[in-house]
Amino acid sequence: MDLLPPTTTTPLLRSTLHDRLVGCLVGSALGDTIGLYTEFLSRPSVLAAYPSRTFTLLPTPTLSHPDLHRLSKPPAHWTDDTDHALLLVLAFLHTAHTASPPPLPSQTDLAVRLRVWAQQGLRALDTMPLGLGRLVGTVLATKGFDVEPARVAREAWEVGGRRVAPNGSLMRTHPLGVMCAWRGEEEAFAVAAEVSMVTHADPRCVVACVIGTGLVRGLVRGEVRDEEELRGVVERGRAWFVGGQGDGEEEVLDGEELRRHVEAESLEELKLDEAEAIGYVYKALGSGVVVLHLAMRKMAEAEGGLLVRSKLFEKLITDLIMQGGDADTNACFAGALLGAYLGYGSLPDHWKHGLKHGEWLLGKAEALSQVMGLKTGKYNGQEDKDTLPDGGKGITQDEMEGRWMVLQAEVAKKMDEHAKASSSKPAKGSGWHVSMPWQSDKKRAKK
């Protein structure tokens, strides 16, 4: 185990590592939240909807493009992308006191929590399970998923012709990089692969999670400081997968296409709003890697200046979501990398202090920092009901259906208010409905 024992480091170093850890979790949630503004829109539509290229959560959140997809979400709130990442955080915190080092989340840990989320949402916050992807919905509904999730996911991938490589596992695995900060790189690669395969068996999905987790781990540790070190992690992650887990699946992995995405020179080169491919996992991976490259170049040019650091996160996340496509997932992953690189202190105040449930999220990040030995104090997840799969609350199906009806009524009211205010009908292409988890919706096509 490749440890950096926090107890033997200086207070200044522990503070820096703590800042990166919290920056990763909060930065990812911010990217997800801001990305919702442009999710599923084409680049021309984004430019027309948000000509100022300015987004704020405080004091009043920027008004969203008025369609049912956006109006079904509370203002300044993250989406399912962050919810699923938090399932891993909560699973880790729940058992963190039982051993040293704390046990990493298992495949069945995540499987059980995903099923609860699909039925009840994130119970700790009473949020709704909006945005369940088609692939995830399929595997969750399959008998035996909670016992053998990887087998079920693999069979679903094979039944689908071994063609589908959506981004739904990449969006959730960044917390593993934090949890593995004191573990070896290959151990981080391995747990990332296992967690991806809970729902996403395609080699492209798995290698993306391996690379993403490795990058977060290296950034938090301060080992990924420049573009050469960034490329090193990407190549080691790819080589580890090809040399072991991906043996015999190189053709599906498509190494040349992987390189094309992780070595892109600009966001435009990735064509993130490409029709029928917006949820492709290599696009999400590429967007995060490109944004991190750009951040490192800016920091090198400015010689690490504090003024540049304080503006980089907002600028780069804004540039990314203005490309449209699957903007929330792209920015969720990119936000995790940027947050781990720049630290929590460099995240924009009018975003991080305006985030819905931001204080709750910060509290969980602080708890994780305590568990990782970076912050003083003791945390026992057994005493924190939020870490239970149902948030310690439970719920009946009748109650859940009632919550869905309330949400649908609220969204219908918002649409009516917008139509009256604009004296027009909702724009074409915005006729999305608020669907229950077992129903099909547009988001299901990508994850």
* Residues annotated within a binding site for Mg(2+): 79-81, 326, 328-329
Tokens for 333? 């992953």
225 burial class (0-12, 13-18, 19+ CB within 10 angstroms)? middle
* CB 208 within 8 Å of CB 170: yes
Tokens for 301? 């040019």
What is residue 379's DSSP assignment? -
Rounded CA-CA distance 325/276 in Å is 10
Rounded CA-CA distance 333/437 in Å is 24
Tokens for 142? 């399959």
**Four-CA torsion 115, 118, 124, 125, nearest 10 degrees:** 170
For residue 389, whether the previous peptide bond is cis, meaning omega lies within 30 degrees of 0, is no
Tokens for 390? 């149902």
Taking the mean position of all CA atoms in its chain, how far away is CA 200?
15
Residue 311, SS3 per DSSP: helix
DSSP 269-290: GG-TT-TT-TTBHHHHHHHHHH
Rounded CA-CA distance 104/11 in Å is 26
Residue numbers belonging to the annotated binding site = 79-81, 326, 328-329
Sign of torsion over alpha carbons 296, 298, 301, 302: negative
43 burial class (0-12, 13-18, 19+ CB within 10 angstroms)? middle
Rounded CA-CA distance 85/25 in Å is 9
Of 309, 317, 327, residue with least CA distance to 272: 327
